[in-house]
Amino acid sequence: MLVINQQQVKKIIPLGKINIVVGCVENAFGDYGKGLVQMPSKQYLYFNEYNGDLRVMPSYSSVLKMAGTKIVTVHPDNPKIGLATVMASIILNDPKNGLPVAMMDGSYITAMRTGSAGAVAAKYLARVDASTLGVVGTGVQAVYQIAATVKVRKIKDIVVFDVNPKAAQAFVKTMAKVGIKVRIGTIQEACGQDIVATTTPVRKPIVKLEWIKPGTHINAIGADAEGKEELEPEILKSAKVVIDDWAQASHSGEINVPLKNGVITKENIYAGLGDIVAGKKKGRTDADEITVFDSTGLGLQDLYTAVAVLKLAKRQKIGKEIAIN
């Protein structure tokens, strides 16, 4: 089994080459839409006394001929003790015999594939001439949403907002180090761009319909657990809503609270992104329509990215072989 740590994964696919992951994620959605994969719903363990949870995400692709399982933990208070909020590991198994062929850090892959999912959604749902990007929340995921989105659209202006001004200022410096210029604006300004990405952990809506202009595409990324929501429900009622997976989105995505409260129903959901990528349904069909992608994160995104990392690691002779059987 090849073991690949986080620094090695970063060396194999650095941020500047996130387009590799965008391609992996697009293929994952396409194969999902074609029914060429198996992916049970994400399973949760809740550590309520520690304000955290553990998620298990298995999947199998008959196209890649590989199975994979990601174990990811989310602890929002971790930064206070010097640990990352999200930590993950991925194990790949050969479906022919069940042999574990690789174990690798999944934290960086999680960040990369989540940003890439937003980019894939923007590729199919944002206007072709979209040139501005607004980001609400300047945590780690905001970096990857921006880095991936600029690979699929010619973005000329990026506006970010965070409730913590110091965090926003630090974010501007972080992005400058990777060669991407962003500027700080109000939340209304961030939400008034051609493409909007929301990456916050809030449980009460902070993005209002009145701030969203016709033709906007929104990537709703932050809602990844039951009870979370970032957008006013009126936005979902006014938009073409696309999800990654019904079971996950209805349980823990942006649509979960409005569904529970009866504000929207399953009929308000236009399609799964996999169906659009696979060509079963059209993406954007009108320049003025508002589109929303509800991203909860699929095990398939991790699997397809991890397989690419494994292939590149072998080619570059990176990682350590160990025997566990």
- Catalytic residue ranges: 70
> What is the Cα gyration radius of the chain?
19
Say which residues have a Cβ less than 8 Å from residue 215's Cβ, sequence separation at least 6: 127, 194, 287, 288, 289, 290
Quick one: how many helices (H) and strands (E) in the chain? Answer: 11, 16
CA distances from 181 to 20, 158, 279 (A): 22, 7, 34
Say which residues have a Cβ less than 8 Å from residue 41's Cβ, sequence separation at least 6: 245, 247, 248, 251
How crowded is the C-beta side of 180, counted as CA atoms within 13 Å? 25
Which residues does residue 38 pair with via DSSP β-bridges, in sequence order? Answer: 60
Say which residues have a Cβ less than 8 Å from residue 156's Cβ, sequence separation at least 6: 131, 132
